[in-house]
Structure 1
Amino acid sequence: MKTNRALLLLILGTVLPAFAQNKIDDRLGTSAEVLRQMIAHPDSIPKTYLDKAVCVLVFPAVKKVGVGLGVTYGRGVLVCRTGTDMTGAWSAPAMYKLDVGSLGLQLGRSETDYVMLLENKKSALKLLSGKLKLGADASAVAGPSGAKAVGANDTNFDVLTYTRAKGGLFAGASLGSASMATDDDANKAVYGKDISATEIVREGGVTVTPAGKPIVKVLNTASPSSR
């Protein structure tokens, strides 16, 4: 009996970390594909706003949880521009969590992709310091979409939000008082050590993993430098 229990624990100790790592790798890959498609689509994120962004958050396939509660919760990825002024190439990705409260009920969608553009260094540093709450820590608006969107300097804002609902419908969306925080367990799994989001994206203390390269490539290709 003791031998069987020890064997089971050994198997679980091997399988569970590998399963968790696969989920995180899938998150990185899915985030890259969601962002690639939303950048490429003519009715989605305008290049003008992407070029001005200092950080990009991607939360793929966010689902509503809790019967009758409408609570929406997701896990995604943050990538920021490197350099003192955050105008350089894009950093290694950091893992983040999203909590949008009852927004899922308002949207009436069971699964939605979210992309957020942080348009200035102040909001980016606030996000990297811990939890960022829209409305309290940063002003957020539904992002203009399509090629005819106004220029990035025509409006004053911190965060632009975009969604893609099931079926491919693109739209700007107000996220109310949504909050974002670092996913510390996932970051440790990716980089093999306890590490902060600031160390990942600002201090260059990590090497981009194979699973993280696609999303960095998408951004470096679409918007190689800030303007």
Structure 2
Amino acid sequence: MKTNLMYGFLVGALCLAPLFAPAEEPSDRVTAAGQVFKDLSIASSGLPINVLNKADCVIILPSVKKASFIVGAQYGKGVMVCRSGANFNGPWGAPIMMQSSGGSFGLQAGGQATDFVILVMNDDGARSVMKGRAKLGAETSIAAGPVGRDAEASTTATMQAQMLSYSRAQGVFAGVSLSGTSLGPSDDDNEKLYGKKISAQEIFAGDVKAPPSAASLLSQLRRISPKNLAKGK
């Protein structure tokens, strides 16, 4: 009986999840991602520039919604921007539209919108996400990132992780573990953004130009972190 009841709640939560998915067009989410990055790059307690300078890619999921009805479910869409080139050591390239999903059991109340930022720290982590729905903490290692403009990845866990993750809710920015979250490209949104069917790998390879909505985000990335200091020349 309890199993059937829990199953019913789970089905109900999954049916309601689309109601909490972002309704904006892909270009709007690219613009929103640019604003999130701007806010966190200038805050003294925000994104660590020293760590960003060693990252291959940045993933920004603005306003991820969390619904709760016994079973908590979260679903979000956003953008991944990677440094170009086979070794991720070139200029920042065109954005790849992403989607995330995850769930947690337990009594929860209310819902909130949270911005998530993930720094992808090595090639394997970047390629794993581009290929499809990677489960963070399983296919790729992830840890809560250090906070503050001058912060460094100082612990063994953060230095060895393929990804470092952060959240911002109600103005508070902090490192957070996103282990268990599934993350991968949104083929439908990439088609809408670029006007044709195109894979994440093709976008990364430079087969399309960045859309106008990405101008702010890309200009900030190129200004603040023009080179991948982990790769040298």
Please state which band the TM-score falls in when normalised by the shorter chain. 0.7 to 0.9
Partner of 1:213: 215
Helix, strand or coil: the match of 1:30?
helix
Partner of 1:165: 169
Native 8 Å contact 1:60 1:75 kept in 2 = yes
Helix, strand or coil: the match of 2:168?
strand
How many pairs align? 206
1:184 is the counterpart of 2:187: yes
CA distance in structure 2 between the partners assigned to 1:176 and 1:110 by the alignment = 19
CA distances 1:80-114 after superposition (whole Å, capped 9, x unpaired): 00012101110100100011222897898611000
Using the TM superposition, give the Cα deviation of residue 153 of structure 1 relative to its aligned residue in structure 2, in angstroms.
9.1
Pick one of 66, 87, 90 that aligns with 2:89: 87
Native 8 Å contact 1:58 1:115 kept in 2 = yes
Partner of 2:128: 126
CA distances 1:103-152 after superposition (whole Å, capped 9, x unpaired): 89789861100000000001111111111111111111100111452357
**Is 140-149 or 186-195 further displaced after alignment?**
140-149
Helix, strand or coil: the match of 1:43?
coil
Query: Any unmatched runs of 5+ in structure 2?
Result: 1-21
So what's the TM-score if we normalise by structure 1?
0.84
Partner of 2:116: 114
Using the TM superposition, give the Cα deviation of residue 36 of structure 1 relative to its aligned residue in structure 2, in angstroms.
1.2
Native 8 Å contact 1:64 1:104 kept in 2 = no
Pick one of 56, 73, 89 that aligns with 1:71: 73
Native 8 Å contact 1:60 1:76 kept in 2 = yes
Native 8 Å contact 1:71 1:104 kept in 2 = no
Using the TM superposition, give the Cα deviation of residue 65 of structure 1 relative to its aligned residue in structure 2, in angstroms.
2.4
Q: Against the structure 1 CA distance between its residues 60 and 21, is the aligned structure 2 distance closer, same or farther, given a 3 Å change threshold?
A: closer
Helix, strand or coil: the match of 1:52?
coil
Q: Against the structure 1 CA distance between its residues 128 and 87, is the aligned structure 2 distance closer, same or farther, given a 3 Å change threshold?
A: same
How much identity, in percent, do the aligned residues show?
38
So what's the TM-score if we normalise by structure 2?
0.82
The amino acid across from 1:199 in the alignment is E
Using the TM superposition, give the Cα deviation of residue 223 of structure 1 relative to its aligned residue in structure 2, in angstroms.
0.4
CA distance in structure 2 between the partners assigned to 1:109 and 1:221 by the alignment = 36
1:225 is the counterpart of 2:214: no
Partner of 1:23: 25
The amino acid across from 1:208 in the alignment is A
Report which of the two has the higher share of helix.
1
Partner of 2:202: 199
CA distance in structure 1 between the partners assigned to 2:227 and 2:51 by the alignment = 12
CA-atom RMSD, angstroms?
A: 2.4
The amino acid across from 1:39 in the alignment is S
